[in-house]
Structure 1
């Protein structure tokens, strides 16, 4: 089985993938100081809880947007799984898609991997929205080429900034408001409305502008942990793919090994 590792700004996701199917997944808070030994102790226990062993892993691939975390993840692979890991976007795991932007070297690994998976799963022009630490909107054309996108503050960042800057505002959970009314009757309901419906308005508004600029029918694919939070309150998504990044990593791995 493949061990796919997606190191984001907030969490590192570990997933076991076999035959394109995700058998298990776990996440841990991102900490660039966390050592390979610490990862190994944590991951070994989780593997055992789901009746897996380290020896079940036949390869490792890593995507990261946290450069300082890469060394320890590589060491984890070499020391505890006995494999030289593939690094998404490098060597045998080159993207294989055209990054048609001004600074292709600056495209985040997660965004490129998402485009690879989205293009394989949903042919045609597409917009991929990833709800993570930041919310990213990425455009790929019908050939699979990455054409650019948008980076916006994630909903958690927006809420943190609001609560930090306004002394009297309480910390609230991110959830759909109790009603569809956008006129709040108390402080907490007004905050829920502002964060939740404000975020939906941003998503719908940006997608509408992107579609108009693309000029062709485009599917909207959502991914990331918070994608399902908005699913019932907007018709903007054509599909939700919770594991798009892991799927893209598995596709990169397969492509690299077919090419050998």
Structure 2
């Protein structure tokens, strides 16, 4: 089985993939203070709960946007799973797609992995909207090349900033509206409407401009934890691809064998 690790700014996702099937998936908050042994205690307990054995892992691949996470995660793979992991972004690791931007090393590993999966599974032109710590829009062209994208503040960052900067505004959770009414009748409703419909407007506005640049036939995929919430309230999103990053890691691993 293949062990995939996607280390984001907020959460790190570990998954076991057998062939093309994601058989297990676990999430932990990203923290650079954990030791290699602490990671193994955590993941070995989860594997045991699902009757999975560490020796079943035959390969590993890591994508990280947090540089200080690479060393402990690499050592985890070497010490406990007895394999040298592929690192997305390392010069020797082939993506299988061209990266047509000014400085390819600046592009987050997760964004490149999403582009690989979107091209292979859906075909270009395609835009990937990833609802993570930042909300990103990434473009794959007709020829499969990664063409760049758009980076916006993530919805939880916006909520935090609103709460921190305005003394009388409470901390709220992201929640889908109970109706299509935009006007809030209370402070809480007004904040929820502003955040939710504001992000819907951003998605629709940016994807419309991207389609004008790259062709009206461009597909729009959504991924990330909040993707299903927003996809149900706008026609700008064509499909939700929740496992896009994990499938991209699988594809990159296979291309480097």
Q: What range describes the TM-score normalised by the shorter chain of this pair?
A: over 0.9
Q: Distance in 2 between matches of 1:91 and 1:35?
A: 27
Output aligned runs, 1:76-225, within 5 Å.
Answer: 76-225=76-225
Q: Distance in 1 between matches of 2:102 and 2:216?
A: 22
Judge conservation of contact 1:8–1:30 (CA < 8 Å) in 2: yes
TM-score (norm 2): 0.98
Match of 1:3 in 2: 3
Q: Distance in 2 between matches of 1:55 and 1:189?
A: 51
Report the CA distance between 1:151 and its aligned residue: 0.2
Q: Distance in 2 between matches of 1:124 and 1:107?
A: 19
| 1:234 corresponds to 2:208 | no
Q: Distance in 2 between matches of 1:31 and 1:123?
A: 35
Q: Distance in 2 between matches of 1:252 and 1:178?
A: 41
Match of 1:29 in 2: 29
Q: Deviations over 1:145-192 (max 9, x none)?
A: 011110000000010100111111111111112221111110000000
Q: Distance in 1 between matches of 2:58 and 2:224?
A: 26
Runs of 4+ deviating beyond 6 Å = none
Please list every run of 5 or more consecutive structure 2 residues that lacks an aligned counterpart in the other structure: none
Judge conservation of contact 2:95–2:255 (CA < 8 Å) in 1: no
Q: Distance in 1 between matches of 2:208 and 2:180?
A: 22
Report the CA distance between 1:91 and its aligned residue: 4.9
Report the CA distance between 1:89 and its aligned residue: 2.7
Report the CA distance between 1:216 and its aligned residue: 4.4
Q: Distance in 1 between matches of 2:138 and 2:169?
A: 33
Judge conservation of contact 2:14–2:26 (CA < 8 Å) in 1: yes
TM-score (norm 1): 0.97
RMSD of the TM alignment (CA)?
Answer: 1.0
* Count of residue pairs brought into register by the alignment: 257
Secondary structure at 1:93 match in 2:
coil
Q: Distance in 2 between matches of 1:146 and 1:216?
A: 18
Secondary structure at 1:83 match in 2:
coil
Q: Distance in 2 between matches of 1:108 and 1:140?
A: 15
Q: Deviations over 1:210-242 (max 9, x none)?
A: 111113410001111110111211111111110
Q: Distance in 2 between matches of 1:101 and 1:198?
A: 29
Secondary structure at 2:164 match in 1:
helix
Judge conservation of contact 1:127–1:220 (CA < 8 Å) in 2: yes
Change (3 A) 1:4 1:184: same
